Amino acid sequence: MTTAPFDPLHALRVLRKHRVRFILIGGFAGRLRGSPTVTNDLDLCYARDGENLERLAAALQDLKARLRGVPEHVRFLLDARTLKSGDHFTFVTSAGNLDCLGFPAGSGGYEGLVDRAEEMDLGGIRTSVVSLDDLILIKRAAARPKDLIEVEVLKALREETRRPRRR
């Protein structure tokens, strides 16, 4: 499968249709928080209970998900059992690249992030988005050069949003 154009709203619609419990993390969440950094994938942290894994597997099948970087002829059974056996999955889908992380570095997983996440309306789709503080922790823990650069951008955004506004 060639990479489809990045269409995050399509992916979010399918995830919502299947009632998957997840929180947006990564670059797209950073953009929603005001970062100027451009991303070409959707990263999410998903709840790892059995019911949610079933829903996630169904949504991924609906999105025609395939493992990214793996030849198409390599068999991959996309079901709840497979998702339970792993943690981080990188997919190419009909909505572009989608990364699913059970326990992103620097987080306590879905359960550790959900209470501080903020509900946002994205094109009529109610979606949980990681808090700015948690996103900074996740990016710092990932420690890739691009993430460490983004940490500085996100810290500046946090400082700006916490600064009292002048009248």
Q: Looking at the domain assignment, is residue 3 inside a domain?
A: no
52-71, pLDDT tens digit by residue?
999 999 999 999 999 999 99
Domain that holds residue 122: 8-162
Q: What is the CATH number of the domain that holds 37?
A: 3.30.460.40
Mean pLDDT of 10-21: 98
Residues in contact with 16: Cβ distance below 8 Å, sequence separation at least 6, in sequence order: 125, 126, 127
Buried b (16+ CB within 10 A) or exposed e, 142-153: beeeebeebbeb
Q: Looking at the domain assignment, is residue 121 inside a domain?
A: yes
- Spatial distance between the Cα atoms of 68 and 3, rounded to a whole number of angstroms: 9
Q: Looking at the domain assignment, is residue 167 inside a domain?
A: no
User: How many structural domains comprise the chain?
Assistant: 1
CB atoms within 10 A of CB 101: 22
Count H helices and E strands in the chain, helices first.
Answer: 7, 7
pLDDT reported for residue 167: 65
